[in-house]
Structure 1
Amino acid sequence: MAIAIMSWTMGTQLLLLVLFITVIILAQRLFQTFFRNKDEAHVWIKVEPIGVSSGGIFSWTRAVIGSVFSYQQDTQDGYDKFCKAQNRPFILPTMWTGGSVVVLPPSLLYLTQKVYPSMARHQAKMDHLQLPYMISDRDVIDNLIQFDIARKKLRQAEVVSSLAAITEEEIDVAFRKSWGTSETWTSINAWDNCTRVIAQAGFRILIGLPLCRDESLLEYARMYANYLFKGTSIINCLPPFSRPVLARIISWPSKYYQAHCRRILRPLIEQRIRELKDHKAGSEKPDDFLQWLIEHCRKLDPKEMEPDKISDRVLVLCIAFIFAMGYIFCSSVLDLYKSSEKTSFVAGLVAECKRVSAEYGGLSTKQAVDSLYRVDSALRESMRISDVGATSIPIDVVSGKVDLGNGIQIPPGMRMVFATQPMHLDPESYLDPLRYDAFRFSRKYEDTEKSEQELGERELCTTITESFLPFGYGKFQCPGRWFATQTIKQALAYVVMNYDIEFDSRQYKRQALLNMMLPPEYVQMSVRRQRV
């Protein structure tokens, strides 16, 4: 049975699930309860929906079911019709919540600048990732110790700087092992091999040598992250009332790989705990996330020192390394090497990387990586044009009402989001926004007599603006973005300096499933190591 479940194609799974959803929802008329209170009905008087037909039977039911495949286009249509033309929010049907979300215009980004008692983000994020169904130990996601530590450490410039040499070394080892050193063309899977490199570099920071290079752990962890994402995508497409039952089945593959990762990590964790107990003042200790986590957990409830719980906390962060960073890196490779201007873009990147590498003796320092302005621009441009979702920055109204102006008040129980993908592709913010321009953010600082002060501050990958929101906004900014972009820039620089890459002439079309843009799991690329 397990083999059968894991051998299904994602398309077959989704088709069966959508058919199941249709039968269940139509049978029970789930969404007849949509106007469940007067406050919510008031919102519907003030805020218009998008993607709902004006007549017919079960128009809302059909709209919510259809959102599984129409969410991205409906978001774009609503943004154009309401956010841009009228500076107003709109209501978007979605299976994610089992009803709708309120999509806010960019002018309301100020709501993220402060912490309001009436608004919360944690549950919205958990619902987006469906982690309560995908992680065996619920305490790991309710008590976010691992994120608190990562947030504290990875926002410190000296810590990020100290990690540059470590990740550069591990990236070199990972590329040689995963992409190979052959000078003849070899076909490899883009998604698998991009995420393998990022996974190994990430594990070097998480657990250190030598286990970060363990082939079994790397593969199990990568499969764990992949199946967690697939499971999350499918669960979000289910009616909320059915998730407690069906999610147990859907989450089985990810929990299977999680158990294998636990088994491999447990001896190292037990060893670290013993060494910490026997540690003598002045003696050297490991300096990685696992060590930071154990030392922190020692001050808490004894249950936090259980090896499996510590393992699960490491694996939750592993998701961020493998999927989030891997997604960005893989997209940056595809966007660059599938561009019609690939030749000139790559040549420009190589010239910069060689110059900076010669100046700093490699790319093993933060100062060197920070000098890669063209690489930074290429990465920022890819993040702009290849969003992971149509909407983001979800916010739940948990108490009181949130006043949006114009007589619009959002009551408790409703969720608000921003249409970040349309914002990133808005022609009023970006010239020719659908074109990938690797040097969009660096070009104006080159070949000019004007000073940088006259030209204005550079917009780097880590720079958050109202038209660039991959790392959130306001109080919802990603604190690990400096480390993430530093590592991905090192990886992209390594690619352009060491490999030739070719894709076939077929146009790769990104696929959307509800709010998620699916990763390019089946894209093949040909690579060869450049001759020294």
Structure 2
Amino acid sequence: MCHKEILRGKHPLVGSPLFLTPRFILNLIFASRASKVVNQGYQKFRTRAFQVVRGEGNLIVLPNSLVEELATLPSTVASPHGALEHDLLGSYTGLDVILESRLHHSIVQRRLTPRLGLITPRLEKELIPLFEELLPPSKGEWIEFQPYQVFCQLAARLTAHAIVGPAFCNDPVWLDIAINYTENLFKTIVVLRLLPSWTHSVVSRLLPSYWKCQGYIRSSKVLLGPKIRELLGRSEDGSLAPDSNEDEFNVLTWLAFLAKGSERKPDNIAHTEVLLSLASIHTTLLRMLNVLYDLTAHPELLEELRVEIYQVASSPEGWNKPYDRLYKLDSVLRESQRMSPPSTIGIKRLFKTPYTFQNGLHIPKGTYVCMPVYAIENDPEHTPNPDLYDGLRSYRAYMQSQSTPGNSNNSKEFQFSYANDPNVLNFGYGKYACPGRFFASLIIKMVLAKLLVEYDFQFLPGTGRPANLEVHEFLFSWPWNKMLLRRREGSTFSF
């Protein structure tokens, strides 16, 4: 679509400094200040759709009033996977495989999530040696460490238990694939999306990150292939029963057990495993890191969280299904994600057929739409004083709700993983919300509970909270930042 066609469109264009600013420049403006561009449109056109230029296409940004209707549209009409593949340049990064099957989505939602309570003890047990291996022994003294690197390893090792199972969760080849595929995928995306799409086929081949992504996918097929073929064979002869064996509660086994037709190709299953590791590691890593930064910048919250953790551990129920009872930690997680989300836009859909919303807004086939989730959640009408980090914001709202008759059982509405609030949309909304959010929440809370009890943290002298790095709609953290860590004397957690 040329610039003149954009201006003649039904939706106002946001982010153009001049009437005939070239598309290439508009794309660079979006790449460098996407959150500001989208927030400008949100503030100006709060109740109607507007558009911004991104790459060779346009984003149609919908008003929050349409979130309910958008979230209920079937994927045959508005595809979340199609939008994701579009965002992450699937044909150049290997993400195009997600368009071929939704089996992995169903497995995470219907097999993994209901069994999180059963795999939690195994994960807690794994965390003990991981802390000893990855965190430097400080002996009461302040020691420098790189939190991004530590959390990256923790996220990869813990999520691997559920993604590939015990056979590979500590395999150095798998961990190298899981961690470095993610890093190189985003390097490839960031560069290619700065350039016109007609250059991608050539420029991608000039990027080392592109070839590394291809290599990691090939390596995953070599590594996982024998195990996948074994599982497929057991599935065919009836000896595979993953739902009755806790050692086989992992996505790799369920994929082999449930896959049909072309889904049963070992290479497809291995490829899918890599993409699942991308999603799980990226989410958990960034959230743990930003929470640590926020708590170190607001040390008054640390002691409140430690008291809550001790209270839950010493309650009559003990440390039994404790993570849904850490209300203050949930509040801190929600506040951290509000201010440092992984993406400033969300509920992304690529329309596969024309559709007209109930308010008369018509969306043609092939249109990419999204919600301005960062702008919505930081709207003063939804979040008072949004520029202020208030870690206990949601906790106070939860406590206030408990004093209202009939609201005593509404604690789920204030949990980090809750995805039915039209003003809190980072995990999506409704039935198409991120299926892995419960697993991610479990891992994040587990790591933070042990970390906060056993260690103190400080920024390096003369420094403060590291700023987020914004590129396109994504928010990243610099991976080589250092902090100070000190083991707390006499503080050992229950696992």
Deviation of 1:360 (Å): 6.5
208, 212, 215: which is aligned to 2:169? 212
Partners of 1:448 and 1:280 lie apart in 2 by 50
Partners of 1:454 and 1:292 lie apart in 2 by 38
- Please give the residue correspondences for 1:290-439 in structure 2 after superposition, counting only pairs within 5 Å: 290-297=252-259, 300-301=260-261, 304-337=263-296, 339=297, 341-342=298-299, 344-359=300-315, 363=319, 365=320, 367-403=321-357, 405=359, 408-439=361-392
- Please give the residue correspondences for 1:41-440 in structure 2 after superposition, counting only pairs within 5 Å: 44=9, 46-55=10-19, 58-83=21-46, 87-95=47-55, 98-115=56-73, 118-135=77-94, 139=97, 141-156=99-114, 159-183=115-139, 184-209=141-166, 211-250=168-207, 251-273=210-232, 286-297=248-259, 300-301=260-261, 304-337=263-296, 339=297, 341-342=298-299, 344-359=300-315, 363=319, 365=320, 367-403=321-357, 405=359, 408-440=361-393
Helix, strand or coil for the counterpart of 2:52?
A: strand
Is structure 2 residue 434 aligned with structure 1 residue 462? no
Deviation of 1:113 (Å): 3.7
Q: What is the identity, as a one-letter code, of the residue corresponding to 1:373?
A: Y
Partners of 1:277 and 1:449 lie apart in 2 by 52
Which position in structure 1 is the counterpart of 2:493?
Answer: none
1:49-71 Cα deviation digits (max 9, x unpaired): 1111344x544443233222132
In structure 2, the CA distance between the partners of 1:33 and 1:50, relative to structure 1 (3 Å rule), is: closer
In structure 2, the CA distance between the partners of 1:279 and 1:498, relative to structure 1 (3 Å rule), is: farther
Helix, strand or coil for the counterpart of 2:169?
A: helix
In structure 2, the CA distance between the partners of 1:41 and 1:411, relative to structure 1 (3 Å rule), is: farther
1:44-94 Cα deviation digits (max 9, x unpaired): 2x3211111344x544443233222132211111111111xxx22211122
Partners of 1:241 and 1:495 lie apart in 2 by 47
Q: Are 2:231 and 2:240, in contact at CA under 8 Å, matched by a contact in 1?
A: no
How many residues align structurally? 478
Which position in structure 2 is the counterpart of 1:22?
Answer: none
Partners of 1:132 and 1:399 lie apart in 2 by 22
Deviation of 1:203 (Å): 0.6
Is structure 2 residue 395 aligned with structure 1 residue 442? yes
Is structure 2 residue 432 aligned with structure 1 residue 498? no
Deviation of 1:489 (Å): 1.0
Q: What is the identity, as a one-letter code, of the residue corresponding to 1:349?
A: L
Q: 350-359 vs 109-118, which deviates more?
A: 109-118
Partners of 1:118 and 1:139 lie apart in 2 by 19
User: Where does the alignment leave 5 or more consecutive residues of structure 1 unmatched?
Assistant: 1-30
Deviation of 1:139 (Å): 4.3
Deviation of 1:497 (Å): 0.9
Partners of 1:132 and 1:378 lie apart in 2 by 37
Deviation of 1:126 (Å): 0.8
1:475-502 Cα deviation digits (max 9, x unpaired): 4312222222122111111110111111
Helix, strand or coil for the counterpart of 1:91?
A: strand
Deviation of 1:256 (Å): 2.5
Helix, strand or coil for the counterpart of 2:314?
A: helix
Which position in structure 2 is the counterpart of 1:15?
Answer: none
Partners of 1:468 and 1:449 lie apart in 2 by 20
Q: Are 2:342 and 2:474, in contact at CA under 8 Å, matched by a contact in 1?
A: yes
In structure 2, the CA distance between the partners of 1:214 and 1:155, relative to structure 1 (3 Å rule), is: closer
Q: 379-388 vs 451-460, which deviates more?
A: 451-460
In structure 2, the CA distance between the partners of 1:34 and 1:122, relative to structure 1 (3 Å rule), is: farther
Which position in structure 2 is the counterpart of 1:519?
Answer: 477
Q: Are 1:510 and 1:517, in contact at CA under 8 Å, matched by a contact in 2?
A: yes
| RMSD after superposition | 2.9
- Please give the residue correspondences for 1:466-485 in structure 2 after superposition, counting only pairs within 5 Å: 466-485=422-441
Partners of 1:396 and 1:217 lie apart in 2 by 32
